[in-house]
Structure 1
Amino acid sequence: MVQQSAAQLDAAFAALADATRRGVLEELGRSEASITRLADRFAMSLTGMKKHVALLEEAGLVTSQKLGRVRVCRIETEGLGEVAAWIAARRKVWNDRFDALDTVLETLLQQERPDEQA
């Protein structure tokens, strides 16, 4: 399961590396949209947009459903939540490290200026 999760994160970050796909996610964050509407919005061919949506689907960031002749896309909050959780965990590690560094620097500054401790 860890490997699958790592592979999912890899796919999500690869998908997020592209500005068009990030734009698609922003668009879908406002409301669901057809591939045709997304293609028009980004001045792109239907084939090109289908490829972008397919990558977002593989990454678990978007779902799509065929309704008649139209494929409607929706943002997948669970996939985005996993990415956000991974980032939040890294942020906590770095915030803890910066807090520890601040403590060390403050101690060193106080040692340099003993007359200001009083």
Structure 2
Amino acid sequence: MSDRITLTGLRVRGYHGVFDHEKRDGQDFLVDVSAWLDLTAAAASDDLRQTLHYGELAERVAAIVSGESRDLIETVAGDIADEVLTDERVREVEVTVHKPSAPIPLSFEDVAVTVHRARP
């Protein structure tokens, strides 16, 4: 399926990491989500109810990132993917969680984890 909706660069404050200061102080995470679904009906009807509402998608993703603290961004990405797949219309989802302020004592631009999930 080639139709997809993509949300890129959603910035949300979260408290994820293995170190105490990450859980205490938090940091900004950036999230990208691509959801593959058939958009034929939405395109033909021009009806928001026929598609994945990207505003609601952003709110659902933000709730996970700003919610319960996790040690690993792998877990955060997996939780987001699982949430997106609760919409039966979504066939596949790819989630990238960026941690640009990861505690690495070297110069770097970004650390990210990407998960891809699909219905069987």
- TM-score, normalised to structure 2, is 0.22
Higher relative contact order (CA closer than 8 Å, sequence separation 6+): 2
Higher strand fraction (1 or 2): 2
Larger radius of gyration: 1
Structure ranking higher in helix proportion: 1
